[in-house]
Amino acid sequence: MEQKPLALFSSQAVEVLYKKIKSSEDGLSDAEAAKRLKDLGRNEVHSATLSWWHILVRQFKSPFLYLLIAAAILASFLGEKTDALMIGLFVAIDVLIGFCQEYHSEKAVSLLKKFVSSKTVVRRSGQEFLVDSRDLVPGDIVIVRTGDRIQVDLRWLETENLQVDESVLTGESVVVEKNCQPLKEGAKDFFAAKNIGFCGTLVASGRGVGLVFATGANAEFGKIAKMTAGTDSQGTFQKGIAEFSSFILRVILITLAIVFIANVLIKGFETDIAELLIFSVALAVSVIPEALPVVTTMTLSRGALRLAKKKVVAKRLSAIEDLGSIDILCTDKTGTVTENKMAVAEIFSDDREKCLWYAGLASASVDFKVSPLRSNFDGALLSSFSKMQCDKACQMVREYERPFDPIKRWNSVVINEDKNKILIVRGAPEGILPFCKISKKEEVQVMKTVEQEGKKGRRVLALATKEKIKSDVLPEDGGLVFLGLISFDDPIKATAKAAIAESERLGLRVKILSGDGPEVAGAVGYEIGLIKSPDRVVIGEDWLKLSETERLKVAESEDVFARVTPEQKFLIIQTLQKKFEVGFLGDGINDAPALKVADVGLVVDGAADIAREAADLVLLEHGLEVIISGIKEGREVFANTVKYIKSTLISNFGNFVAVASATLLVNYLPMLPIQILLLNLLSDFPMIAIAMDSVDPDELKRPRHYSVKEVAYVAVALGLISTVFDFIFFALFSRISPEVLWTNWFIASVLTELALTMSIRTKKPFYKAKAPAPILSFLTLAGVIIAIVVPFTAIGRNLFHFVQPTNSALFMIIGLVLLYFALTEIAKHFYYRFQKIKE
């Protein structure tokens, strides 16, 4: 089927368009929709996929790799063919490792994207229900409301106060009012198309029903250069890592330059400049934490897949480590600590049947018996209807509808019941009562009932009507007849109390920011153990009246806030961010600003489109326990990344200082370039496996924040021990011969680095720590065996210039390595004990 252009669908009458696209006001049948989906393909714009060769080429963009390649070329030019070949081999191994890990991570990200898909309300065969937006086809009838992202190009059939934000296409920040009237002349651009809804634009307010005429690459959004895929923004931890790596590189290059110049000045004409240059490059590469991007990517992608199994999907990988760093989680109570399964509890009205009937008619204009849509109030009300009432409600003529407004806190509809036009207004009692003809005494009694129900943890809707109205009557005109109140139960989750207790053990503060009244929010907070009294609740408006200093004090000390507006949520989170890392869980249109400003934004899978777009993580299941699980995972990611940084800095810097200094003490290179690269390879394999290591439970007990100072202190404290032992090995073997020094110092360096990895992986004594991951143990053992065996082989002697070590030398090395491990454990114990006292 040919998809129709913009000019045609903006200028023709609806009846003509139905015929052209072979559809009707009831929409397509399921069979026809399936056929069109097969013929036309899914509603998605295919961006260029990242092929394996793209990832392979990306491996050669590392400055560390450029240094190695330059060293290989230089060695080859000087006739050192073996050295050049071995350096080339190390380059190939390094590229292969990076490629395998990045390819695996890209696959993980692709898999995660499949978890999160947008949903759209569609009408097919006269029934309305949610479908995956990628399954929309030309001829579908789509219904959108405030906060929805339009996923296709469509011609409006019905509009009710419909305003659309088209800035993604036009760059204009002013919302556009839409209508359903055909244009006299076909639209030639976005600005003229007042009766067209464009893919990628956002419904700012109102409701609309539209006929789909273009999907995927055929939609206007698909024809222009803008791509719907977002970029993966960096978290605070990633930025810190990048800055730290840059700092390390500068320090190393400056140090090497000083050593190089010192060698030339001290040794004069005896210095082999080319050999020293290759040695300097190899030494620089050995100490630079070049595996850090690989470790970070591995840790994040592994964490992302584990989180996905726990029903938390990361939209950006770096959000996982940010999640582990949050000190405070702000959330609404609905669906997080309550079941989000409302049921009608009580009806307070002189005419209970009429009150329930009109409250149900004020629901969204879809059949909620078959549509799992957003409003739980609607679901609870319509579930109380009999089958006859449901059928009658679906057939009721709606002449006008104003969707729920989170600021005004009510919605309204105009229905035509037996030629009697009735305005129905439903919402928060305090929002509706000002429009009603009601005495002060009656108003006081109503609010007293609301308060009593609130103390039971029940939410309350008020209902008011006005019959025999004219078309232009609005609720704000007043004169409404107050019909009654309906209270709803939303049971506390069975897991909520345990989740709050677990959050306290993790050092995480949970704060409820609720739009409900103080009685409801307080009752829920008290029941789950968040507050000690149901009266300890702060009203959003009262908090806003405080001074800046008092706001921070109250925001920090209090845990339940009620009657909070979207603006107040935003300000509370901003205020808390002056001292803390803050996460926010929301799902509504009004939550988008708070989600954007929070350090980590979380939404549930059924959240409004605008909220989902502002979030970093999507929960496929509701519940505080799901978030707690995610926070643990984030802290594990953080812990393992920091383990690698500490381990590589301590061992590499200790070895770097000793080897660089040794060049001034002997008239030959204390370690050959290919020996340094082999040492780097054997020690990096287990260090990379740290990404999959187990983490001690104590590491998860409080939020962790990246600190250059803390990493630098531990690197200096334990790095000094590493340097001392390197000089001991140098002193023992340098007097015998260059080959003996190269062999024994190589073995000792590998063993001490691996011993350090097993020590630094935990803050506890090694015998009290959680057992290392099997892959870490295996690679560590493999590294030890290879380091000892290589000098006994022909390859070791011919390629790496080793000699067979004596038994006495091996026993001496092993003894010193054990002593090194013991001293590292002692130093580690006192260092972390001192840190604990400081905290």
**Helix/strand/coil (H/E/C) assignment for every residue in 240-307:** HHHHHHHHHHHHHHHHHHHHHHHHHHHHHHHCCHHHHHHHHHHHHHHHCCCCHHHHHHHHHHHHHHHH
Q: List the Cα angle 706/252/717 in 5-degree steps.
A: 55
Asked if 351 and 482 count as a contact pair (C-beta separation under 8 A), the reply is no
Strand partners, 123: 128, 141
Residues 6+ apart with CB under 8 A from 522: 455, 531, 533, 534, 535, 536, 537, 560, 562
For residue 75, the one-letter residue type is A
- Phi, psi (rounded to 5 degrees) for 396: -65, 135
With tokens 């970093």, the residue in question is 616
Strand partners, 64: none
Asked if 178 and 162 count as a contact pair (C-beta separation under 8 A), the reply is yes
Q: Rounded to a whole number, what is the distance in angstroms from the first to the last CA of the chain? A: 69
Burial 393-413 (b: 16+ CB within 10 A, else e): bbeeeeebbbbbbeeebbbbb
How many helices (H) and strands (E) the chain has is answered by: 31, 21
Neighbours of 746 (CB within 10 A): 25
Asked if 213 and 22 count as a contact pair (C-beta separation under 8 A), the reply is no
**Residues 822, 827, 830, 836, CA torsion sign:** negative
DSSP 525: H
Report how far residue 58's alpha carbon sits from residue 68's, in angstroms, rounded to the nearest whole number: 16
Nearest residue to 86 (alpha-carbon basis) of 790, 678, 787: 678
With tokens 């990895």, the residue in question is 757
Asked if 827 and 718 count as a contact pair (C-beta separation under 8 A), the reply is yes
Report how far residue 743's alpha carbon sits from residue 788's, in angstroms, rounded to the nearest whole number: 9
Report how far residue 723's alpha carbon sits from residue 745's, in angstroms, rounded to the nearest whole number: 12
| Crossing angle for the helix pair 708-733 and 738-760, to the nearest 10 degrees | 150
Tokens coding 528: 């789950």
Could you tell me how many residues make up the chain?
839
Asked if 413 and 361 count as a contact pair (C-beta separation under 8 A), the reply is yes
Residues 6+ apart with CB under 8 A from 223: 217
- Phi, psi (rounded to 5 degrees) for 428: -65, 135
Decide: helix, strand or coil at residue 358. helix
Which residue blocks in 340-439 are alpha helix, DSSP H? 352-361, 376-383, 387-395, 429-432
Q: List the Cα angle 164/170/175 in 5-degree steps.
A: 25
Report how far residue 77's alpha carbon sits from residue 568's, in angstroms, rounded to the nearest whole number: 68
**Residues 695, 698, 703, 705, CA torsion sign:** negative
Report how far residue 738's alpha carbon sits from residue 242's, in angstroms, rounded to the nearest whole number: 38
Nearest residue to 278 (alpha-carbon basis) of 424, 1, 74: 74
Report how far residue 93's alpha carbon sits from residue 97's, in angstroms, rounded to the nearest whole number: 6
Q: Mind telling me the catalytic residues?
A: 332
